[in-house]
Amino acid sequence: MAGSDSILSLDILAEKFARLGGVGKRTAVRLAFSVLDLTDEEAEAFAEAILDAKRSIHRCPVCQNLTDREICPVCADPARDRSTVCVVQDTKSLLAIEKVREYNGLYHVLHGLISPMQGITPDRIRLKELIERVSADESVKEVIIATNPTAEGEATAMYIARLLKPSGIKVTRIANGIPVGGELEYADSYTLQRAFEGRREY
């Protein structure tokens, strides 16, 4: 009777869901079942959205932010203050900061944090691009490091501060308005705002 209880195409779909970050086996099966509840049109739009996102989203050549335009909207915006670059670990942090509508400078997205424990060395994140950009662009006067206040976030911040010291550029760290050990992505607007106001120079 082996195999008589399985629906091949559903198993395959569940397996695809399970490849997404943080999706366990049971959740994957539940999500696969709920695809069956979509209309044909919805399912087609879903599949198309996956392909579209993969096709159109790449890293902005200036700040490494994920974007579906040639240069990301922040870098392309002439109203943004080009003298400040805020360094974040990922696009989720950038979106959280943008939501506050308080910061008006540019960004640099690292796409990760240095973590010797997980074998993530400085060359595995977009650090070289930051150094090159800051060295080449004389309009940059301040680099605000806004990595999460976790062990890896602090270590990465220290590392960047040390790297940039010879350049004479002002390097600041957002204040601990964000609860220590927490994640920037989940901070409320007020806490994020306080964190920006209270930034201190290294």
Binding positions for its own copies, rule: CB under 8 A? 1, 3-10, 12-13, 15-16, 19-23, 29-38, 40, 42-54, 56-57, 66-68, 73-74, 77, 79, 91-92, 94-95, 98-99, 101, 104
We find the least distance from the C-beta atom of residue 86 to its own copies, in angstroms, to be 13
Contact 46, 54 (CB under 8 A): no
> Rounded to an integer, what distance in angstroms lies between the CA atom of residue 179 and that of residue 163?
26
Q: Which residues pair with 106 in a beta bridge?
A: 85
Minimum CB distance to its own copies smaller for 84 or for 160:
84
We find the least distance from the C-beta atom of residue 121 to its own copies, in angstroms, to be 19
We find the least distance from the C-beta atom of residue 153 to its own copies, in angstroms, to be 18
Minimum CB distance to its own copies smaller for 66 or for 131:
66
DSSP letter string, 108-147: EE-SS--BGGGTB-GGGTTTHHHHHHHHH-TT--EEEE--
Minimum CB distance to its own copies smaller for 148 or for 171:
148
Minimum CB distance to its own copies smaller for 23 or for 131:
23
CA quadruple 164, 165, 166, 168: dihedral, nearest 10: 100
